[in-house]
A and B are shown apart, each in its own frame.
Chain A
């Protein structure tokens, strides 16, 4: 496996997920694939935007570095995922960060909206763990391995 990131500083993922169980599933899936990444987890849309725009408790650039990838759930408390996506993609500073939607929703409406707001990818969480973990693996390989980012 060709991993550009190995010899460089670790790649950073921002996981926006209100369900802690799901968050843990994601993180352990990454562990399984031994991808040396740093994952920051926030539990709602407001926190995600605070993190990305470095507001409030996320003001420190060292503690809260800008991610190379955002894994975004759609159904979130306070500000929902689509709104967060919109904010990211309309921000000059953040719009280049790839945003991968990771959701339980298979609704056409959500899919269409997500792409309308320039989501880079749309993934539906599989119930089967093997598939789940494979998806996470592929996700890492693709976005953090094969895909080149600025």
Chain B
């Protein structure tokens, strides 16, 4: 791999990580943008809506203001009409001329009309405090309800009276404080008799009753109405202390730090007799704290005689804006919540999806890993098995090699031995012949013959041994009992000679193999047993079989000389003899071992030692047994001994 490849490979996760972070940032930015857009849209919309509602409200307020203006104008005009009627009443004119001020029966007729008018006016919602009759100089002649102390009082300087005396025209005064301390205006009507000014009829109207009338108008929670006159003097206001004062001056005095230009503009328009709408900023004192309050206003003029009043309806701007804003806020919050929910759900789905994908990938990886693991395990197991097999083969091969080595060693020694004898005695023979020693010559020849015979014998045995692995008769079922009888027959001579008692146990199994070879095995073992009986007075041989797990173990047991445990392996070696004087060449047991092994069995000897007898055991397969194993084994053996 090149260096560049390596870097790419290692930078990949970092790049992925950056990509993830970028994604997150992009997501947050997108979210924030959407929220901001919604916010601005909602805000804009709300503002527009607010403007519309404000406009409508203002128009509504204006309508009410106009209605109220009309109503107040009507009321005041009614009062003026009453006064005019009274002024035109001849009885009243006569009374002024006569200056009748007492409340006596003769005046009843004159007073009657005044009383009727007063009663009528008193029943109105706009209260009048008194009805006055004054002479041309402003002196009170009569007052309804009657008050003794009033008669004769000079009212010529009272607001309105002065104007009427001078101008002989009806007049509505500006605001003043009546004797009862209530803010009032007066309406004066000149009385003429034959075109000549003779006196005045006058009523005083309590402004708080107009206030009461206006207080019924409900515009919002905090809305109210107020009236100013053309001088900017407050005529009606919910705050009684404002009444009779300059509308602007009183505010500027109370809250000098506030800008009142908007209100000033409105007041200017009102005083000018205009109708219209407007907004202004006011201030509200609440718990020693000044709070700016936005106001909505609609104003309409009231033209009554010489006077111009203007009624204004005012309500808090917030009363309209607050619900709208609250509504907008709620909607905005709801939208935000919805978006959040949507995002949350989206994120949830995304996470679930991601997790699902991840899990699937993991599951797939796990599955793949598991399968790989299984594969690996099976490979390892296979490897181990092969290794074990190999090791077993190596061990087997080593054993075989060692055996082969021993074999060649033995063969070379045992074949060389007679050669040396022959060579040696030939030399000696020459000597002895020269010396003329006949006896020695005979002995030498005998030795040479013996050695030659021994050599012949060895060669025959070797040939026989090498055949075992190669020449195989077809395997067949053989009754072990029958086989034992045959073997005993073959060794019968020696058995009889030594007087050995042979016992073949009943119920011997059916074994499977090369009949002649198996016979050879038993024959050799029986022969050996007879051979090594020693001095046993009651020689006995038992031929039997036992089941050892899956194996059938056949045995030949004798009560002969026995074998020391240290020789138990050695006796099966080629040409190994424990006793150099004994008969045989030491090939018998080697041969037996070969045959048993070729049949896939094992052979061993059990003996507790000298004089304790021996039992030669071998395993052999019973009917139908591991034929395949046998075949394999045989093939291997064939290879081994073709070398030997």
Are A and B bound to each other?
yes
Residues of A within 8 A of B (CB): 18-19, 21-22, 24-25, 28, 32, 43-44, 75, 77-78, 104-107, 125-130, 132-133
B577 touches A21 (CB 8 A): no
B428, B450, B578, B579 pick with most chain A CB within 10 angstroms: B428
13 A–B contacts from the bound complex (CB under 8 Å) = A18-B580, A19-B417, A21-B425, A21-B451, A22-B420, A25-B424, A44-B580, A77-B578, A107-B409, A126-B420, A126-B423, A127-B419, A132-B423
A129 touches B409 (CB 8 A): no
Does B442 sit within 8 A of A, measured CB to CB? no
Give the contacting residue for A104; candidates B413, B450, B567, B579; CB below 8 A. Answer: B413
The yes or no answer to B383 lying at the interface (CB within 8 A) is no
Interface contact B579-A25, CB-CB below 8 Å? no
Shortest distance between the CB of B422 and any CB in chain A (Å): 8
Name the 6 nearest CB pairs between A and B, nearest first.
A129-B427, A25-B424, A21-B421, A127-B423, A104-B416, A77-B580
| Residue B426, interface by CB 8 Å | yes
- Contacts A77-B578, A132-B427; A25 near B413 (Cβ below 8 A): no
B43 within 8 A of partner (CB): no
Q: From residue A51, how far is it (CB to closest CB) to chain B in Å?
A: 16
A77 interface neighbour in B412, B426, B579, Cβ under 8 Å:
B579
Q: Given A21-B421, A77-B577, A77-B579, 17 more contacts at CB 8 Å?
A: A18-B580, A19-B421, A21-B420, A21-B425, A21-B447, A21-B450, A22-B420, A104-B412, A104-B413, A104-B417, A104-B420, A105-B409, A125-B420, A127-B423, A128-B423, A129-B424, A132-B424
Q: Which residues of B contact A44 (CB under 8 A)?
A: 580
Across the interface, which residues of A come within 8 angstroms of B423, CB to CB?
126-129, 132
| A25 lies within 8 A of B421 (CB) | yes
Please name all residues of chain A whose beta carbon is closer than 8 Å to the beta carbon of B427 when the two chains form the complex: 128-130, 132-133
- Flag if B580 contacts A132 (CB, 8 Å): no
The interface on chain B, measured as residues whose beta carbon lies within 8 A of the other chain's beta carbons, has a size of 25
| Chain B residues near A28 (CB-CB < 8 A) | 428
CB distance from B104 to the nearest CB of A (A): 181
Instruction: Decide if A78 touches B451 in the complex (CB within 8 Å).
Output: no
Bound state CA distance, A12 and B309, in angstroms? 174
Query: Which A residue's beta carbon lies closest to that of B448?
Result: A21
| Interface of chain B: mostly helix, strand, loop or mixed | helix
Q: Give the CA-CA distance A28 to B440 in the complex, in Å.
A: 11
Residue of B420, B425, B431 most packed against chain A (CB within 10 A):
B420
Q: Inside 8 A of B419's CB, which chain A residues have their CB?
A: 127
* Binary per-residue interface labels of chain B (438-461) against chain A in the complex, 1 for a CB within 8 Å, 0 otherwise: 000000000100110000000000
Report the minimal beta-carbon distance from A148 to chain B, rounded to whole angstroms.
Answer: 31
CA A129 to CA B425, docked complex, whole Å? 7
Who on chain A is nearest to B416 by CB? A104
| CB-CB contacts below 8 Å: B398-417 with A | 409, 412-413, 416-417
- Distance, CA A105 to CA B408, complexed state (A): 11
B interface residue numbers (CB < 8 A to A): 409, 412-413, 416-417, 419-428, 430-431, 447, 450-451, 567, 577-580
Q: Are A25 and B428 in contact (CB under 8 A)?
A: yes
A27 to B419, CA, bound (A): 18
Shortest C-beta distance, B543 to chain A (Å), equals 28
**Complex-state Cα separation, A19 to B451, whole angstroms:** 11
Cα–Cα, bound, A105→B409 (Å) = 8
Q: Closest residue to B415 on the A side, CB-wise?
A: A104
Per the bound structure, the CA–CA distance linking A130 and B580 in Å amounts to: 28
- Assess whether B580 is in contact with A22, with CB atoms less than 8 Å apart: no
Q: Which residues of B contact A19 (CB under 8 A)?
A: 417, 421
Given A77-B580, A129-B426, the answer on whether A22 and B421 have CB atoms closer than 8 Å is: yes
Are B579 and A105 in contact, CB atoms less than 8 angstroms apart? no
B430 closest partner in A (C-beta): A129
Residues in B with CB closer than 8 Å to A128 are 423, 427
CB closest residue in chain B, given A125: B420
Whether A127 and B420, one on each chain, are in contact in the complex, defined by CB atoms closer than 8 angstroms, is yes
Residue in chain A with minimal CB distance to B570: A78
Residues in A neighbouring B413, C-beta threshold 8 A:
75, 104-105
A43 touches B421 (CB 8 A): no
Provide the bound-state CA to CA distance between A32 and B426, in Å.
Answer: 15
Q: Are A78 and B426 in contact (CB under 8 A)?
A: no
A-chain residues with CB within 8 Å of residue B425 when the two chains form the complex: 21, 25, 129
B424→A21 contact, CB < 8 A: yes
**Most A Cβ at <10 Å: residue of B413, B422, B567, B579:** B413
> How far is the CB of B238 from the nearest CB of chain A, in Å?
138
The interface residues of chain A lying within 8 Å CB-to-CB of B577 are 77
Question: In the complex, A127 Cα to B578 Cα: how many Å?
Answer: 26
Contacts of A129 in B (CB 8 A): 423-428, 430
Roughly how many angstroms separate A144 CA and B422 CA in the complex, as a whole number?
28
CB distance from B445 to the nearest CB of A (A): 13
- Asked whether, in the complex, the Cβ of B412 is within 8 Å of the Cβ of A22, the reply is no
How distant is the Cα of A125 from the Cα of B120 in the complex, in angstroms? Answer: 180
Chain B residue nearest to A19 in the complex (CB): B417
Question: Closest chain A residue to B575 by CB distance?
Answer: A75
Closest to B581 in A: A43
Question: Given the complex of chains A and B, what is the CA–CA distance between A75 and B416 in angstroms?
Answer: 12
A21-B447, A129-B427 known; A78 and B420 CB under 8 Å? no
Distance of A127 Cα from B415 Cα, bound (Å): 12
Alpha-carbon separation in the docked complex, A132 to B416 (Å) = 14
CB–CB A132/B420 < 8 A: yes
Chain B: minimal CB distance from A47 (Å): 10
With A129-B423, A129-B427 as contacts: A78 and B578 at CB distance below 8 Å: yes
A32 to B413, CA, bound (A): 26
Picked from A24, A32, A43, A104, the residue with its CB within 8 Å of the CB of B580 is A43
Instruction: Please name the residue on chain B nearest to A106 by beta carbon.
Output: B412
Which B residues touch A132, using CB under 8 A?
Answer: 420, 423-424, 427
Measured CB to CB, the closest approach of chain B to A72, in angstroms, equals: 15
* Partner pick for A22 among B417, B426, B450, B578, CB 8 A cutoff: B417
How many Å lie between the Cα of A44 and that of B582 in the bound state?
13
Measured between C-beta atoms, what is the minimum distance from A60 to chain B in Å? 23
